[in-house]
């Protein structure tokens, strides 16, 4: 270094002294994205370059480098500050650019135009970033659709809480007002009457024991002088028959309301989780318009325009579910009657339920066999399976366990054998069970 040529002012070539402090070699300095357009140079430490003691002040002590563009802008601001306000702004008073308010807005706009590109990108991202609440991001609730939930049993409470978590303003009503206390404490609005509850939202979700409860609650609403049912969308997620759903849709239409039928296929604790799914049927345009509101409850499956379809699928799925639960309890009673602990039996029994698809094929394969009406008995026959059903009845009888369920199953096989299907597969029971057109 001692042999490097010095310039006339005593500094090494390629260095500069600005703002009264020494600079390092020009390659030791690089431009980083500016903060609010300050255009400063910052030291680059790394790539073999080390900060010499006292060579550069710390970043916060270092004065900003005045670029040619910044100099022009600062001069423009000084000239504008010296001009009378009437010559600077647009006509129309301070709100249009005159006076102090106009200068402040003009300065902000100027700074926005001259920001470094990296700063402009950060501003654009900030404008479109949702509000943060804790660890999760949610849209502002004011942009969400208000929803009313009538019926606050376990399922109704779970649906109302789920909709609130999704950002919807929720109004609730229940015959027993105390059931709404926790929801109100969490931000829901308690309606004093069913009419007030219906009037509060365009979407009204019903979670009741059955459809007659809907008529009991909404019947008086029909007489309300505000005609609050007109223009509302009633989404009935209560359980009943397909015919009851069709009749309810006609009743709602007679009072100016749209009607969507639904069936929630999970228990209350699973509402709003990825495992939740819900069958819907009714006017497709109405469902499509409100599907984003209903989606937080569970994955929606739209089945068709017929209002009865959702309840048809709901009841058919529960036929499988409830029969499986009943058989599980009956089998457990059979085992424990012999002095065996339930814990020694139930884990294996549940494994058996999960293994059924591997034994009988997936649903599509089984559906093809049933629709074709072909029941080949090369692997099993109705007669063989019927003998097993008889053994279950006699074992249950000997143990003193109720015989209603095993008797019902055995009767299917007895009827299939009597109809000439004894040498066909167990699926031949379908020919006995199904209704004839």
Number of independent structural domains in the chain: 3
Express as a percent the part of the chain with pLDDT over 90.
Answer: 62
What does the pLDDT read at residue 115? 52
CA 424 remoteness from chain centre: 47
Q: What is the pLDDT of residues 211-251, one digit of tens each?
A: 999 999 999 999 889 899 999 999 999 999 999 999 999 99
Using an 8 Å Cβ cutoff, are 164 and 170 in contact?
Answer: yes
**Residue 157's CATH number:** 3.40.50.720
Q: What are phi and psi of 299, to 5 degrees?
A: -60, 115
The first and second tokens of residue 243, run together, are: 């015919």
Q: What are phi and psi of 364, to 5 degrees?
A: -65, -40
**Residue 422's CATH number:** 1.10.1040.10
| 165 plus 125 within the same structural domain | no
Least confident of 19-33, 215-229, 351-365, 396-410: 19-33
Using an 8 Å Cβ cutoff, are 269 and 257 in contact?
Answer: no
| 254 plus 151 within the same structural domain | yes
What does the pLDDT read at residue 361? 85
| 198 plus 255 within the same structural domain | yes
| 385 plus 405 within the same structural domain | yes
53 inside domain: no
| 145 plus 94 within the same structural domain | no
* pLDDT at residue 133 greater than cutoff 90: no
* pLDDT at residue 365 greater than cutoff 80: yes
Q: What is the pLDDT of residues 162-190, one digit of tens each?
A: 999 999 999 999 999 999 999 999 999 99
Q: What is the pLDDT of residues 325-358, one digit of tens each?
A: 999 999 999 999 999 999 999 999 999 999 999 8
| 393 plus 249 within the same structural domain | no
Residue 71: pLDDT band with limits 50, 70, 90: low
Q: What is the mean pLDDT of the chain?
A: 80
Say which residue, 272 or 66, is predicted with more confidence. 272
| 292 plus 320 within the same structural domain | no
* pLDDT at residue 317 greater than cutoff 90: yes
| 239 plus 303 within the same structural domain | yes
Say which residue, 70 or 90, is predicted with more confidence. 70
Using an 8 Å Cβ cutoff, are 65 and 18 in contact?
Answer: yes
| 333 plus 412 within the same structural domain | yes
The first and second tokens of residue 299, run together, are: 């994955």
Say which residue, 274 or 71, is predicted with more confidence. 274
Q: What is the pLDDT of residues 27-63, one digit of tens each?
A: 444 444 444 444 444 444 444 434 444 444 444 444 5
What does the pLDDT read at residue 144? 87
* pLDDT at residue 403 greater than cutoff 50: yes
Burial of residue 207 (number of CB atoms within 10 Å: 0-12, 13-18, 19+): buried
For the chain, report the end-to-end CA distance as a whole number of angstroms: 104
262 inside domain: yes
56 inside domain: no
27 inside domain: no
Question: Hey, is 378 helix, strand or coil?
Answer: coil
Domain stop point among 312, 345, 376:
312
361 inside domain: yes
What does the pLDDT read at residue 61? 47
Prediction pTM value: 0.67
51 inside domain: no
What does the pLDDT read at residue 85? 47
* pLDDT at residue 200 greater than cutoff 90: yes
The first and second tokens of residue 295, run together, are: 């989606």
Number of other residues whose CB lies within 10 A of the CB of residue 269: 11
| 234 plus 248 within the same structural domain | yes
* pLDDT at residue 15 greater than cutoff 50: no
What does the pLDDT read at residue 53? 41
Residue given tokens 């054998």 in the structure block: 417
| 287 plus 198 within the same structural domain | yes
Range of the domain at 373: 315-433
User: Which residue, among 195, 238, 249, 178, has the nearest Cα to 213 in the 3D structure?
Assistant: 238
197 inside domain: yes
| 329 plus 268 within the same structural domain | no
Output the CA angle 152-153-155, nearest 5 degrees: 95
Residue 262 belongs to what H/E stretch?
Answer: strand 258-264
**Distance separating alpha carbons of residues 237 and 213, to the nearest angstrom:** 12
């Amino acid at each position: 270094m001692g042999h490097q040529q010095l310039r006339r002012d005593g500094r090494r070539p390629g260095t500069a002294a600005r703002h009264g402090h020494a600079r390092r070699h020009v390659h030791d300095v690089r431009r980083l994205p500016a903060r609010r357009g300050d255009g400063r140079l910052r030291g680059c430490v790394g790539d073999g370059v080390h900060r010499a003691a006292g060579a550069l002040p710390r970043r916060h002590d270092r004065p900003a480098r005045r670029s040619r563009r910044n100099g022009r802008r600062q001069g423009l601001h000084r000239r504008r500050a010296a001009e009378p306000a009437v010559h600077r702004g647009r006509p129309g008073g301070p709100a249009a650019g005159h006076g102090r308010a106009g200068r402040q807005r003009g300065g902000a706009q100027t700074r926005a135009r001259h920001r470094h590109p990296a700063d402009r990108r950060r501003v654009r991202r900030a404008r479109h970033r949702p509000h943060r609440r804790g660890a999760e991001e949610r849209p502002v609730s004011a942009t969400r659709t208000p929803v009313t939930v009538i019926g606050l049993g376990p399922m109704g409470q779970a649906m109302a809480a789920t909709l609130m978590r999704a950002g919807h303003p929720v109004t609730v009503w229940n015959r027993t007002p105390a059931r709404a206390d926790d929801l109100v404490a969490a931000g829901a609005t308690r309606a004093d009457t069913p009419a007030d509850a219906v009037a509060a939202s365009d979407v009204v979700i019903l979670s009741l024991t059955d459809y007659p409860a809907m008529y009991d609650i909404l019947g008086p609403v029909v007489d309300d002088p505000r005609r609050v049912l007109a223009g509302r969308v009633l989404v009935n997620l209560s359980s009943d028959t397909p015919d009851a759903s069709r009749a309810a849709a006609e009743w709602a239409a007679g009072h100016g309301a749209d009607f969507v039928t639904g069936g929630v296929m999970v228990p209350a604790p699973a509402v709003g989780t990825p495992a939740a799914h819900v069958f819907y049927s009714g006017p497709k345009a109405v469902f499509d318009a409100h599907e984003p509101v209903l989606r937080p409850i569970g994955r929606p499956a739209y089945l068709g325009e017929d209002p009865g379809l959702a309840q048809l699928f709901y009841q058919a799925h529960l036929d499988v579910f409830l029969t499986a639960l009943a058989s599980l309890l009956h089998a457990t009673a059979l085992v424990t009657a012999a002095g065996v602990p339930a814990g020694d039996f139930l884990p294996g029994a549940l494994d058996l339920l999960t293994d059924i698809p591997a034994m009988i094929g997936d649903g599509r394969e089984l559906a093809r066999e049933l629709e074709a009406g072909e029941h080949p008995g090369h692997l099993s026959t109705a007669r063989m399976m019927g003998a097993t059903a008889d053994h279950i009845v006699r074992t249950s009888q000997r143990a003193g366990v109720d015989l209603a369920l095993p008797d019902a199953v055995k009767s299917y096989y007895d009827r299939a054998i009597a109809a000439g299907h004894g040498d066909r597969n167990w699926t031949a029971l379908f020919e006995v069970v199904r209704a004839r057109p």
